[in-house]
Amino acid sequence: MSKTYQIALIPGDGIGKEVIPQGRRVIEALAGKRDQRDVSFEFETFDWGADFYRKHGIMMPEDGLEQIRHKDAILFGSAGDPEVPDHITLWGLRLKICQGLDQYANVRPARILPGIDAPLKRCRPEDLDWVIVRENTEGEYAGVGGRVHQGQPIEVATDVSMMTRAGVTRILKYAFELALSRPRKRLTVVTKSNAQRHAMVMWDEIAAEVAQSYPDVTWDKELVDAATARMVMRPDSLDTIVASNLHADILSDLAAALAGSLGIAPTANLDPERRYPSMFEPIHGSAFDIMGKGLANPIGTFWSIVMMLEHLGQPAMASRLMNAIESVTADPALHTRDLGGQATTEMVSAAVCERLQS
């Protein structure tokens, strides 16, 4: 049975505009294989982001969510621009999509790919194989808060971390399920309930409740500050990790760096119930310092496409692409500058496509 997937491409800003077209090229190379002709992809590109904001005063059209709601998946680059405040680019586009399409599970694998020189001397590649599950719709990024008496000595500003029983339960269930599906069946629940004595205490309680349904998962609880030290000192003691929106944001940048580079790390913003399209993106930002120079590492985008293919139910295509990626990272001549090499975005992308076609 043949299948055509509708993919929304949102390159966004900065190097997002460089890596997303390479992502499309890689998907086309995969789908062009003779034995793969029953699966095809149709793309629609949306020019949302900072340039759109300069013209229209908003990062995406009012009916933007309607335009992408019926796609099978979304491939996203990055939002951010030196001229537009970060909270506008983030809230006006990325968070709007994640929250509007209820992509409540943000999944971020970190692992040391072949050929990558990771910064921890004592860490063997097999010691670092994590998946971080980030709560993606509420918590510290719920958007609840306010600012009064702006600029006055009595100014007050608040950001309220808002957690709901329903929201916490569903992300913890997702994390336990994911842990169960991995060989080590091990989950670390990150918390800060010693200091945040309302929402994080509820988070802990719900973790213990959900755990009852997963007797085969070995789980523990770790304070977020201790978790950062543990990632560095005892990486092999971790496998699946679940944390709140802000905590996981920080931990996953650390994880990406420990695995070798921010330029490699992938993300999936999933609606596990599949009511809406899920969104896949490299973990990095728009990296204006390297824009337009051909230095952007496209591997984070390619690995995100692997996650997209898995989510779409195409595991054979996903593993073919992952093999091509690993064969490219294994060759130091194909490392971009963030990995200590001299290869360009174009060279890495061409090498991945070549391996896909051979």
Which residues of the chain form contacts with Mg ion (CB under 5 A)?
Answer: 285
The correct pick among 9, 27, 39, 78 for binding ligand ATP (CB under 6 A) is 78
Q: Specify the amino acid at residue 257.
A: A
- Measured CA to CA, the distance from residue 307 to residue 14 in angstroms comes to 23
Task: Output 85 or 145, the one with its CB closest to ligand ATP.
Answer: 85
- The option from ligand ATP, Mg ion, none interacting with 300 (CB < 5 to 8 A, set by class) reads ligand ATP
Closest CA to 231 of 132, 107, 139: 132
Task: Output 272 or 285, the one with its CB closest to Mg ion.
Answer: 285
- Measured CA to CA, the distance from residue 84 to residue 59 in angstroms comes to 10
Phi, psi of 261 (to 5 degrees): -175, 145
Task: Output 29 or 98, the one with its CB closest to Mg ion.
Answer: 98
Q: Which helix (H) or strand (E) holds 251?
A: helix 245-258
Phi, psi of 314 (to 5 degrees): -125, 65
Question: Which residue number places its CB atom closest to Mg ion?
Answer: 285
DSSP letter string over 129-145? EEEEEEE-SSEEEEEEE
Handedness of CA 312, 136, 284, 124 (dihedral sign): negative
- The option from ligand ATP, Mg ion, none interacting with 35 (CB < 5 to 8 A, set by class) reads none
Query: Per DSSP, what are the bridge partners of residue 241?
Result: 132, 188
Residue with tokens 């209820």: 102
Of the candidate spans 105-113, 136-144, 179-187, 282-290, the one that interacts with ligand ATP by CB under 6 A turns out to be 282-290
Q: Specify the amino acid at residue 50.
A: A
Say which DSSP state 303 is in.
H
The correct pick among 290, 317, 324, 356 for binding ligand ATP (CB under 6 A) is 290
The correct pick among 11, 64, 77, 80 for binding ligand ATP (CB under 6 A) is 80
Instruction: Quote the least distance from Cβ 25 to ligand ATP, whole Å.
Output: 16
Q: Which helix (H) or strand (E) holds 190?
A: strand 186-191
Does position 83 interact with ligand ATP (CB under 6 A)? The reply is: no
Does position 167 interact with ligand ATP (CB under 6 A)? The reply is: no
Cβ atoms of residues 133 and 171 within 8 Å: yes
Task: Output 134 or 284, the one with its CB closest to ligand ATP.
Answer: 284
Window 38-57: residues binding ligand ATP (CB under 6 A): none
Of the candidate spans 48-56, 111-119, 289-297, 317-325, the one that interacts with ligand ATP by CB under 6 A turns out to be 289-297
The correct pick among 26, 285, 318, 320 for binding ligand ATP (CB under 6 A) is 285
The size of the interface with ligand ATP (CB under 6 A), counted in residues, is 18
- Measured CA to CA, the distance from residue 150 to residue 91 in angstroms comes to 21
Task: Output 48 or 219, the one with its CB closest to ligand ATP.
Answer: 48
Task: Output 162 or 250, the one with its CB closest to ligand ATP.
Answer: 250
- What torsion do the CA atoms of 289, 290, 292, 295 make, to the nearest 10 degrees? 180
Instruction: Quote the least distance from Cβ 299 to ligand ATP, whole Å.
Output: 8
Cβ atoms of residues 304 and 280 within 8 Å: yes
- The option from Mg ion, ligand ATP, none interacting with 341 (CB < 5 to 8 A, set by class) reads none
Instruction: Quote the least distance from Cβ 89 to ligand ATP, whole Å.
Output: 8
- Beta strands 105-111 and 139-148, pairing class: unpaired
Cβ atoms of residues 97 and 79 within 8 Å: no
- The option from Mg ion, ligand ATP, none interacting with 94 (CB < 5 to 8 A, set by class) reads none
Does position 297 interact with ligand ATP (CB under 6 A)? The reply is: yes
- Summarize as ranges the residues that interact with ligand ATP (CB under 6 A): 15, 78, 80, 86, 262-263, 284-287, 289-290, 295-297, 300, 336, 338
